[in-house]
């Protein structure tokens, strides 16, 4: 992703526009549909971004934070809260131009072995075969690091990544780590990410929210800014632009 240089006035304005545009777009999220099985998912013609990761990693909370909505996705202290694939539609004026998918987590100890294996199969199938899938956000609690299942997932999507599938490893609950610990885990994860994007994120402290929203916006709009969308995102009157 290209970041405008924050050092120049033009860079600052551009980054303000990018942020307003991306956050405004995220805020349009609305419930679309839910499915217990892959074949129940509707075909979609727009880019789809899947949020995947261990149970309790913070997927549903991350979607709520990015979309600035408290209860769009079901988040819970109790692991295993999300049990269906839930789709949310994004797009201004009710025109869907992307879909977010909140997936059930894996690795939850209290689930029976056969249920675990069934879900792992469904998820791998989804990641391998879902045509609209454009990007995967793998959420990981940095205190646990990438688990065997996370690694298996990265391995499964590798052929698609080589064909252009985007992926982001999001290290969640950053508020639980010191700055030094964050820097360390970021650099270690980047080494293991095979060129994919890695970011720190905290729903609690709203860390990384803007940045991730912008990244996802750019991934879903590779053609660049639409003039109408830029007009929508122009800073409001209460934030006058100094010459
Ligand atoms: N401190 C802190 N806690 C967080 C953060 N994000 C999520 N949590 C907490 O982590 C727990 C799990 O969050 P969820 O969003 O439900 O996790 P999930 O990955 O959707 O879980 P499953 O649906 O079980 O797969 C909840 O208690 C959240 O409040 C964060 O940034 N900081
Ligand atoms: Mg969830």
Per-position pLDDT tens, the chain of length 243: 445 466 688 877 777 778 899 999 999 999 999 998 889 999 999 999 999 999 999 999 999 999 999 999 987 777 766 778 999 999 999 899 999 999 988 887 777 888 888 888 888 899 999 999 999 999 999 999 999 989 999 999 999 999 999 999 999 999 999 999 999 999 999 988 877 899 999 999 999 999 999 999 999 998 875 544 444 444 333 333 433
Q: Which atom of ligand 1 is nearest to the CA of 106?
A: 25
Output the pLDDT for position 225.
53
Measuring from each residue's beta carbon to the nearest atom of ligand 1, which residues come in under 6 Å? 53, 55-61, 75-77, 79-82, 104-105, 172-173, 175-176, 202-204
Domains and CATH numbers, the chain: 9-233 (3.40.50.300)
pLDDT at 137: 98
The predicted structure's pLDDT at residue 37: 85
pLDDT of residue 29: 97
What pLDDT, on a 0 to 100 scale, did the predictor assign at position 232? 44
Q: Report how far ligand 1's centroid is from the alpha carbon of 238 (Å).
A: 35
**pLDDT given for residue 240 in this prediction:** 38
Closest residue by Cα to atom 30, ligand 1, is 173
Q: Give the pLDDT of residue 242.
A: 39
Q: What is the pLDDT of residue 169?
A: 97
Q: Report the C-alpha gap between 174 and 172 in whole angstroms.
A: 5
pTM for the full model? 0.88
Q: How far is the CA of 141 from the centre of ligand 2 (A)?
A: 14
Give the chain's length. 243
* Nearest atom within ligand 1 for CA of residue 53: 19
- The first and second tokens of residue 54, run together, are 């261990």
* pLDDT for the residue numbered 1: 47
């Amino acid at each position: 992703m290209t970041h405008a240089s924050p050092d120049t006035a033009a860079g600052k304005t551009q980054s303000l526009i990018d942020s307003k545009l991306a956050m405004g777009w995220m805020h349009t999220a609305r419930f679309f549909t839910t499915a217990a099985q892959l074949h129940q998912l509707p075909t979609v013609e727009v880019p789809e971004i899947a949020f995947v990761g261990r149970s309790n990693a913070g997927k549903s909370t991350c979607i709520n934070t990015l979309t600035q909505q408290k209860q769009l996705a079901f988040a819970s202290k109790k692991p295993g809260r999300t049990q269906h694939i839930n789709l949310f539609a994004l797009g201004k004026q009710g025109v869907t131009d992307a879909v977010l998918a909140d997936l059930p987590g894996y690795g939850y100890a209290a689930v029976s072995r056969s249920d675990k294996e069934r879900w792992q199969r469904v998820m791998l199938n989804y990641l391998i075969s879902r045509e609209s899938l454009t990007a995967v956000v793998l959420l990981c609690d940095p205190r646990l690091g990438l688990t065997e299942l996370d690694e298996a997932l990265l391995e499964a999507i590798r052929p698609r990544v080589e064909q252009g599938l985007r992926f982001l490893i999001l290290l969640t609950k950053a508020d639980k780590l010191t700055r030094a610990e964050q820097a360390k885990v970021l650099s270690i994860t980047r080494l293991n990410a095979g060129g994919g994007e890695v970011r720190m994120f905290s729903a609690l402290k709203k860390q990384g929210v803007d940045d991730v929203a912008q990244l996802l916006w750019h991934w879903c709009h590779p053609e660049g800014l639409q003039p109408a969308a830029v007009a929508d995102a122009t800073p409001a009157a209460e934030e006058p632009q100094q010459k």
